[in-house]
A and B are shown apart, each in its own frame.
Chain A
Amino acid sequence: MLESKVNHTETGTLRVKTGFAEMFKGGVIMDVVTPEQAIIAEDAGATAVMALERVPADIRRDGGVARMSDPDMVVGIVNAVSIPVMAKCRIGHFVEAQILQSLGVDFIDESEVLTPADMQYHVNKHDFKVPFVCGSRNLGEALRRIGEGAAMIRTKGEPGTGDVVEAVTHARQIMGEIRKVQGLPEDELMTMARDLQAPFELVRYVWANGKLPVPNFAAGGVATPADAALMMHLGMDGVFVGSGIFKSGDPVKRAQAIVKAVTHYKDPEILAQVSRNLGEAMVGIQVVALTPEQKMAVRGW
């Protein structure tokens, strides 16, 4: 047996954090509120679960301040499944993030679904061993979050609505801006960085590589297999489904169908087959019917 002589191991590195995010690609991350739902999600083929007390649709309905979930509830889910578990902290609430890291969650979502704790600053994610995912509506916002240490980006969409329109808008916006940066001559990058309000080195990375330096997922309003496949076609690396599964008539069947749709998004015959007889989709709210105060996507700085 060949034994290694080199023993210098390093944990919590940027490569280990973004590398973990790469493993979720082509997969579906599902919101769950109980260990039972987490097991259903795992059995349906979720690549990870997001543990929270209320799905976005209920947060929207209930109003009030939405905070990090109870540690007991998060640990209950961590212990129930073998797949990775994510949990949400409020924007800027680095103590909630420290608590979640100490509980052993695998990923933290610094999320606009919860009520922001800071109106100006996000968590300094470089300070943590656990990786973070953050929402963004455009390239500048995505690169600011990555600059703060985010290992994964997702569209914000409009969570808890079941209306995919905002996720589509944000995906098109980011992918369009990436193409625009890619087409620039090198000497225009600094001015572009100024206009995007984004770190220059990251703008340069996008220019050289034609993509974000971390995976970019769809989130916020995905409710059907067709929605999930649409987001994949728009260049997203995978999909978060929040209220869409457990607020629907047949969560098991819908969860399995969305998992298959993300893998086989280019195959309309498979999409047609998995879309049959899924029962009731979640009752939706049209994003255009929301007042500005009801929109979660505007949270984030």
Chain B
Amino acid sequence: MTAGLNNAKQRRRLLKKAFSNSPGRWRVWLAMAGFVLGLILLLGALNLALGINRAIQAGERHAEYLIVNKRVTVTGMLTYVRPGFTEAEIQELRDQDFVRDVGEFVTSRFRVSALADPRVSDMEDAPAGGDPGGFGMSMPLYSELFFESLPDRFLDVDPDKWHWDPELDYIPIVISREFINLYNFSFALAQGLPQIPESVIGGVGGRITVSGSGGEKRFRARVVGLSDRVPSILVPREFMTWANREIAQEEQRRPSRLMIKTDRPADPEMLEYFKNRDLQVNSERLRAGRIGRMAMMGLSAVGALGGLLVALALFLFVLLFRVVLAESAERIRLLLLLGYTPAMLTAFALRRFWFSLIAIALLAAAVLGTVFPLVYQRLREVGFDPGPVFFPLTVGAGIVILALAGVINLASVRRTIRRKAEYLS
């Protein structure tokens, strides 16, 4: 048994020697180098693409709200034509894969003026224990305003307070947190006015006068919430509908702004859609989508190059292996005359090929294993998480490619040795 094993080992050693001077070996090494390089490019690109894809999808798990509007043009400015969305356009938007919901902004068609007066607050709508004078609103503050409304489901405020009762002369208002910040950190400082802490913003009351061709009406108003989502002054939809109809006496106009709920804010497809329709969107996330898309395109190119290189190298590899065999034809013939069977020679040649293949795999793995953690660490340093250093799919793809190379060469070697042998029998 051991004698047999030793014999097999010695046989391989002798065969290796018998073929060791065969020409063309360096070409095989060259092809191997090409193969390794192609494999590295292909798998590297694949892995990075998987990482980017995962990063994009991770961002997509949270729904995000975007505000979309048509671009305001100079022509529009001069002709008073205000761009609005038609029913068809809204429906088309609703039908997109990346859109979960669409809400229309309805704007006020009536004039709105507000008077923030501590005395008014005091008299009629003071919060319990609140002292409007405490935050220094001793001077009445008057301003012309506008209102917008959105469907309730798009709002990030407590719905309990968000209700308009036609029987009462009270309107709840939601304003953008940005406005408070603007006031506190720019306007108030510049004008020497007191800053208003957010905790007491609910205590700010005032008188609102709405007027239009349908007459004039006064309301008490109260800021019931600050919105991070909507940069506007919002009133309940019911109030807006009523006021536009009764006060403004104007027919509904087409909405000029839409709010979109999406769960794929970084989807390059969405970016493409908005770009094609010349729509403006207020999202930083879209930029991530753009970067992701560019990275994907770059990676596709690298991946394609890698794939091409692998295919070429594989072709060259198989071809050269056959050339080496062909150039060793005389030796093969001699060995067959000594009694070596084609099966033995094939097994020997393939064994050498498998070793080359394993060497290629190890080399590629070593290079990827050394370079990738460094690249990925760098990526994380600049704030991009490319995911795990190796995706199972990458490893799987590598195995499949190597197996494919093996199978192709197996067939090739068998055929070549057979053909050399046909000579003889």
Do A and B form a real pair?
Answer: no
Residues of A within 8 A of B (CB): none
